[in-house]
């Protein structure tokens, strides 16, 4: 198992949630984009459940494009017979003879730094990749399919629609190159409901808002990843905007529990917000909070609005989820922003 104390505590919290984990006994779960931040925690959760004897004979097929990255991310599990890596691009036709029971499709470029340099690759995983996964789901008559969408499908909302329910949508310009991500996610959702309607594929959709925690790529390009990197590397936080944009932040263990809850208990063809509406904060407030969480480092926040040409900034000034729908499934986020970011930084330092 993992040698990281913070991750181990997270896994214990996840498996202690009120879910019927026994359904995974003797089943095979395919997870695309398994190197990704949130899906990797889902891989670890399934393997930890087996390790703890809560389930038996679970098979995890981790589909990845970068095998070396996978071996690094899952270095503690390389001799685990329950884990198998599948090396390929999700946009290519996929053939798997082994019976698959669950599919979690999370393969996608999520960092804004890729939207401008690889828009085709950004949208392809959500459109071509989702179609490939649906065809595979048909072949295997799976029990449940979970598609990772995004809060970005909501576009630029009026203030009256924030906090945002699953049926609130704002303006999204399809001719803006940054829309390659949001429009790709929108179409991925439509593919899911189309295959459900025509072929009966039991698909559910998760729309994560900003999620953070251990094992984030510190060069991800998103502002909160930059902030964490600054604290870990003992650098002052340099703001590249006025920091007035407001975001909500959900800790990784909470988001992982929500993901499994939607996979197992969500209604077919429906989308669920996942976030933490109690943790809404402006970007500059987050920067100042992180500095205060680690006073011994004597860091400060510096405002220097020099734009990063490789980063396509969102025009959304505020996003906050209405969580009423997923709360009806029994999910409530429990990790507050101070504890969550403190744990995240410690997971790198340790």
pLDDT tens track for 62-89: 999 999 999 999 999 999 999 999 999 9
The closest of 344, 68, 57, 47 to 216, measured between CA atoms, is: 344
The closest of 339, 162, 181, 322 to 246, measured between CA atoms, is: 162
Q: What is the pTM of this model?
A: 0.95
Above 60 in pLDDT, residue 310? no
Residue 118: how many CB atoms within 10 A of its CB? 13
Beta bridge partners of 251: 212
Exposure string over 70-100, b if 16+ CB within 10 A, otherwise e = beebbeebeeeebbebbeebbbeebeeeeeb
The closest of 273, 61, 253, 318 to 148, measured between CA atoms, is: 273
**Vertex 87, ends 83 and 93: CA angle to 5°?**
115
Please state, rounded to an integer, the average pLDDT across all residues of the chain.
94
Alpha helices in the chain (DSSP H): 5-15, 37-51, 67-73, 119-140, 179-199, 223-232, 252-265, 283-293, 324-327, 337-349
Above 70 in pLDDT, residue 305? no
d(CA 20, CA 8): 20
Above 80 in pLDDT, residue 24? yes
Name the band, by pLDDT with cuts 50, 70 and 90, for residue 153: very high
The residues that are catalytic are 181
Length of the chain (residues): 350
- DSSP label at 15? H
| Integer angstrom CA distances of residue 1 from 9, 59, 84, 283 | 12, 16, 16, 35
Taking the CA of residue 169 as centre, how many other CA atoms within 13 Å lie in the half-sphere pointing to its CB? 10
Q: What is the pLDDT, as a whole number, of residue 226?
A: 93
Above 70 in pLDDT, residue 236? yes
Architecture of domain 5-216+251-277+319-334: 3-Layer(aba) Sandwich (3.40)
Q: What is the pLDDT, as a whole number, of residue 196?
A: 98
Above 60 in pLDDT, residue 312? no
Provide the pairing of β-strand 280-282 with 250-251. unpaired
Q: Are 137 and 191 in contact (CB under 8 A)?
A: no
Alpha carbon 38 to chain centroid distance? 4
Domain range list for the chain: 5-216+251-277+319-334
Q: What is the pLDDT, as a whole number, of residue 114?
A: 84
């Amino acid at each position: 198992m993992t040698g990281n104390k913070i991750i181990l505590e997270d896994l214990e919290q996840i498996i202690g949630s009120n879910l019927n984990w026994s359904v995974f006994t003797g089943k095979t779960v395919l997870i695309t984009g398994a190197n990704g931040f949130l899906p990797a925690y889902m891989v670890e959760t399934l393997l930890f459940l087996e390790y703890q004897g809560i389930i038996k004979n679970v098979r995890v097929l981790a589909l990845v494009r970068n095998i070396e990255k996978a071996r690094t991310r899952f270095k503690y599990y390389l001799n685990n017979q329950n884990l198998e890596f599948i090396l390929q691009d999700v946009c290519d036709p996929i053939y798997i003879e082994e019976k698959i029971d669950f599919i979690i499709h999370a393969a996608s470029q999520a960092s804004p730094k890729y939207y401008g340099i690889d828009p085709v690759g950004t949208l392809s995983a959500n459109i071509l990749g989702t179609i490939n996964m649906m065809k595979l789901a048909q072949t295997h008559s799976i029990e449940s399919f979970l598609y990772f969408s995004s809060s970005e499908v909501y576009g630029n909302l009026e203030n009256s629609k924030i906090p945002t329910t699953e049926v609130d949508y704002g303006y999204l310009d399809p001719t803006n190159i940054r829309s390659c991500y949001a429009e790709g996610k929108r179409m991925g959702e439509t593919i899911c409901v189309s295959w459900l309607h025509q072929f009966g594929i039991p698909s559910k959709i998760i729309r994560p808002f900003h999620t953070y925690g251990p094992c984030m790529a510190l060069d991800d390009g998103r502002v909160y990843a930059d902030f964490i990197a600054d604290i870990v590397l003992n650098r002052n936080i340099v703001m590249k905007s006025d920091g007035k944009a407001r975001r909500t932040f959900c800790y990784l263990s909470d988001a992982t529990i929500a993901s499994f809850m939607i996979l197992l208990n969500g209604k077919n063809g429906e989308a669920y917000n996942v976030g933490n509406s109690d943790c809404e904060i402006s970007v500059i407030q987050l920067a100042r909070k992180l500095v205060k969480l680690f006073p011994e480092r004597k860091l400060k926040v510096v405002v220097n609005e020099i734009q990063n040409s490789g980063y396509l900034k969102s025009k959304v000034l505020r996003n906050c989820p209405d969580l009423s729908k997923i709360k009806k499934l029994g999910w409530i986020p429990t990790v507050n922003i101070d504890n969550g970011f403190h744990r995240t930084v410690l997971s790198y330092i340790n």
